[in-house]
Amino acid sequence: MNEAAWASFNIIGGLVVLVAGGEMLVRGASKLAAAMRISPLVIGLTVVAFGTSFPELIVSIRAAFAGSADIALGNVVGSNIFNVLFILGLSALITPLLVSSQLIRQDVPVMVLASIVLLLLSLDTRLGFFDGLLLSSGLVVYTYWCVRQAKRESVVSNEMQASAGPRGAIARNLCLCFVGLVLLGFGSKWLVDGSVAVAGLLGVSQLVIGLTIVAAGTSLPEVVTSILAAWRGERDIAVGNVVGSNLFNILGVLGISSLVSPEGISVSVEALRFDLPVMIAVAIACMPIFLTGNVISRWEGALFAFYYVGYTSYLVLAAMSNELSLTLAQAMLNFAIPLTIVTLAFSTYRHMLRSDS
């Protein structure tokens, strides 16, 4: 088996094992949380979100130790962009997603703030030990806040409560979580090894590989969880999973990776100039969309998906040094983004008129 075939096998095998491990971890953790009578939104923001983000955590830690810092950073930034634009977009296309007022008032602003803080900490082109300590401390504070919220809203959906099973099943669900974590460890190793090899063979930067293949691969548990949650009517989990995962990626994945990596995580100039600002813009874009009637409509979901296709196309073309990447960037800046701003402003204005009446 030649090097290209072996790298492809590692990537595909790693993705399959990651999805299986993530699915087992989320299923076990969700049932444990449901048995504790925690609300679906809090489950989505914490247990499910953190569980589906474990692939990102394992992959980024392993990449940081392997000296592939661009993959560690690109994995998080790319996953956050993928989570909002692709996962929320696709979920909203399946069914319009109702957005909890708590998300609008509290969690989305925290996600925006965390994204901005990450950019500020990255300005010196490195996330070191103290940066990681600050980010990890933010995760502890946020989790404590969510637990306090859960105590005030000890309500769980009938479906999740029924799926929790008897208390005797807690041991089984703990075993499910443990096996899921083990699979995540193996899958992450194969995925990182294969991705580094592919980047070398294609002459593509590890940052681009991290922003695309690795980011989409490690986000597959979020894809499955949010789409199934939307399909089953658990819309709080569908939206909360994305917002919570993004927060965990920034505060937990990059925070812990920076803490344990001997040399920290380097931040490239390209990520500072383009990818991190795009991640912040995507987080900010959630605010007006979530405000338009507390619902993500199908056309807004289509808009998110359209932007993800445009963003990914730009990355691929730019990696190939294709002149079309400049044309695409100009089209997004001069046409698509202004049109979106006008449309969202009009939707917000209509929502305000309905509220006044």
Sign of CA dihedral 17, 260, 72, 245: positive
Fold assignment, 3-356: A middle domain of Talin 1 (1.20.1420)
Res 122: pLDDT: 93
Report DSSP letters for 186-200, one per residue: HHHHHHHHHHHHHHH
Residue in the structure block whose two tokens are 């949380």: 33
Residue 114 — very low, low, confident or very high, per pLDDT cuts 50/70/90? very high
When the pLDDT of each residue in the chain is averaged and rounded to a whole number, the result is: 76
Res 156: pLDDT: 47
The answer to whether residue 100 scores a pLDDT higher than 70 is: yes
Full-model pTM: 0.76
Amino acid at 154: S
* Domain extents in the chain: 3-356
Q: Tell me: the pLDDT tens digits for 131-176?
A: 999 999 998 998 888 777 666 655 444 444 555 455 556 677 778 7
Angle 169-244-352 from CA coordinates, rounded to 5°: 125
Give the C-alpha separation, 276 to 351, whole Å.
31
Res 157: pLDDT: 46
Nearest C-alpha neighbor of 54 from the set 205, 178, 211? 178
Nearest C-alpha neighbor of 212 from the set 81, 343, 22? 81
Q: Tell me: the pLDDT tens digits for 255-311?
A: 988 988 878 888 888 888 888 988 998 888 887 777 666 778 888 888 888 888 888
How far CA 338 is from CA of 227, 288, 291, 295, in Å, comes to: 29, 14, 19, 22
